[in-house]
Structure 1
Amino acid sequence: MLKNLNPLSIVIVFLLCYGISIKAQENTQRKQLFDYNWKFYLGDAPTASANDFNDTDWRDLDLPHDWSIEGKINPENPMGGAGGYFSAGVGWYRKNFDVPNVWKGKRVSINFDGVYMNSEVFINGKTLGVHPYGYTSFSYDLTPYLDFTGKNVLSVRADNSRQINCRWYSGSGIYRHVWLMVTDPVHIDNWGIGITTPEVSSEKATVQIKIIVQNETELPQSFILNTQLLDVNASNVGSNQINVVLLANSKKEVVQFITVSNPLLWSPETPQLYQARVQILKGINVIDECKTSFGIRSLKFTVEDGFQLNGKTVEINGGCVHHDNGCLGAAAFDRAEERRVELLKAAGFNAVRTSHNPPSEAFLNACDRLGIMVIDESFDGWREKKTDFDYA
């Protein structure tokens, strides 16, 4: 076939293919789901963090995973009645993965949406840290420890053996999503975007976007921070650009204000959402981009009118909901999290209190999308514990 092409055509085809290859390399996915092809062992294995540890006899599974719900109910189990008499204990997870050469010069981190509990994470045998609380997200930088020439091993030890540590069913293990994050050294910080709407009316709304940007290089960096607000039809309803200079190895919070005309207001009856697309631009290149959904609404509490949403008094009609999904245990599958919100909505709820800890990201996204207000709790106890080994 190629013999019928003239030399100019061959050059054009080569350049097109080369351009597509370069574009694919530049468009490395920023947030990659890391749930699949894990190994699991129920019990303690003190040397399981080593790269050469033999895990061939371990169970193959995908995340999210709750080992307690898989166990046998026994009145002798230490979780007791509050935990449904399920088993607890210690469990290990391991995952092998390769690192592509196109990630050289990038920053690579691992994000856990939730591990119950007392987790310790290792990469290639090196400990990254311990996260005691089982209900909050956490992240570690993998960059200094990655091997571009061989296999990499991520190991996680979860310890739910100290009972009783909860007044309800907690589950055990890596029960929420895991994400691999790959960014340029100059990037938007992890969980670094916060959006509020300080001024709201039917004619216009002011959207405040707080963005933490980070420079992980040895030199000062200058760039443009570009934010666009998009409606449900992906139409641009407002934008802002600002020049930013970041010192070497530093972070900075940048605040932008964007006015939206004739905003569609979020409420339980009309859960209208917008999207903020935040980009870091160097020249014509987009070196980082994050998208965040949000609703435009005003909140107010007064003695005379009680709680007001968008200037109208609203009775909060909701209940307390724990994080488990019934027979699925604590495993936070996206569809199960969404279904729980659908059931609340169908029951007439317009609000939910996440008792007594932060829920999954999937649950919160479903509340935003389907129209449920959220009282997002942090801990069951602050200064005084309610069980022997809880996080008070």
Structure 2
Amino acid sequence: MQSLKLQQWKFRYNDHPDAWFRGYDDHDWEEVTIPHDWSVHMPFSKEYSSGTGYLAGGIGWYRTSFSLPKEWEGNRIYITFDGVYKNSQVWCNSYYMGKRPFGYATFRYDITDQVHFGTETNQIAVKVDHRDLSDSRWFTGSGITRKVTITSEAPIHPEFNGIYFTTPSVTDKLAEVVINHTLQNDSLYPVNVTV
């Protein structure tokens, strides 16, 4: 597996209905580094919830561009978000990838069929909707609050969240550990593998 961190993004507060479009003009947007929380840059106000630290939520848009090495072609390409608060929608090169409610769990999209390899750039757009301010008893922040990574995985690779372990029996001196490892086969043929 090879990876590329997407740390440099452009940000704009409020709704911009066409910002998902690859050719959208974002030249005057604010440049930010992920992780990013737009709420901490807003003024405090009693009109907002104590759960959000009396800071504004609202809607924000993020956009970034990246290129992928030609050598990655033929692999599965994923974009993984470790946390976006909250209600995010994601587009890759103007293709809608999906919506993720809430904001604490890691999620990812398979963008293999939407990306270009080599010198042509790719565009990711993310809409974050944190208008519901009474959604927590603590400060959550608003925005892409954890890292974002593009990964290139061989056709046979570990399934997303496919590795876990259990301890069926535990004593003061000994524990039995069972590891479950699920592999995903995106190749055209059945394959025998050793883990």
- TM-score after normalising by structure 2: 0.92
1:171 and 2:141 correspond: yes
1:130 and 2:106 correspond: no
Q: Determine the structure 1 residue equivalent to 2:8.
A: 37
Taking CA–CA contacts closer than 8 Å with sequence separation of 6 or more, which of the two structures ends up with the larger relative contact order?
2
What per-residue deviation string (whole Å, max 9, x for no partner) do you get for residues 55-113 of structure 1?
1101111111111111100112xx32222210111000111000111001111101111
Higher helix share: 1
Give the C-alpha shift of residue 144 in structure 1: 0.7
Match of 1:48 among 15, 19, 24: 19
Match of 1:158 among 128, 132, 149: 128
Q: Determine the structure 2 residue equivalent to 1:100.
A: 69
Higher strand share: 2
- TM-score after normalising by structure 1: 0.47
1:252-331 map, 5 Å:
none
What per-residue deviation string (whole Å, max 9, x for no partner) do you get for residues 290-319 of structure 1?
xxxxxxxxxxxxxxxxxxxxxxxxxxxxxx
1:13-32 map, 5 Å:
29=2, 31-32=3-4
Match of 2:167 among 179, 183, 197: 197
Q: Determine the structure 1 residue equivalent to 2:46.
A: 75
Give the C-alpha shift of residue 197 in structure 1: 2.8
Q: Which runs of 5+ in 1 are unaligned?
A: 1-27, 226-392
Q: Which runs of 5+ in 2 are unaligned?
A: none
1:142-157 map, 5 Å:
142-149=111-118, 150-157=120-127
CA distance in 1, matches of 2:23, 2:158: 35
CA distance in 1, matches of 2:55, 2:46: 8
Q: Determine the structure 2 residue equivalent to 1:222.
A: 192
Match of 2:176 among 195, 206, 213: 206
CA distance in 2, matches of 1:42, 1:114: 18
CA distance in 2, matches of 1:174, 1:138: 12
What per-residue deviation string (whole Å, max 9, x for no partner) do you get for residues 95-138 of structure 1?
10001110011111011111111100000001100011111111
Give the C-alpha shift of residue 164 in structure 1: 2.4
Identity of aligned residues (%): 37
**Structure whose alpha-carbon radius of gyration is higher:** 1
- Structure 1 letter corresponding to 2:36: H
Give aligned pairs, total.
194
CA distance in 1, matches of 2:132, 2:42: 17
Structure 1 runs of 4+ aligned residues shifted over 6 Å read none
CA distance in 2, matches of 1:176, 1:144: 25
Q: Determine the structure 1 residue equivalent to 2:90.
A: 121
What per-residue deviation string (whole Å, max 9, x for no partner) do you get for residues 343-368 of structure 1?
xxxxxxxxxxxxxxxxxxxxxxxxxx
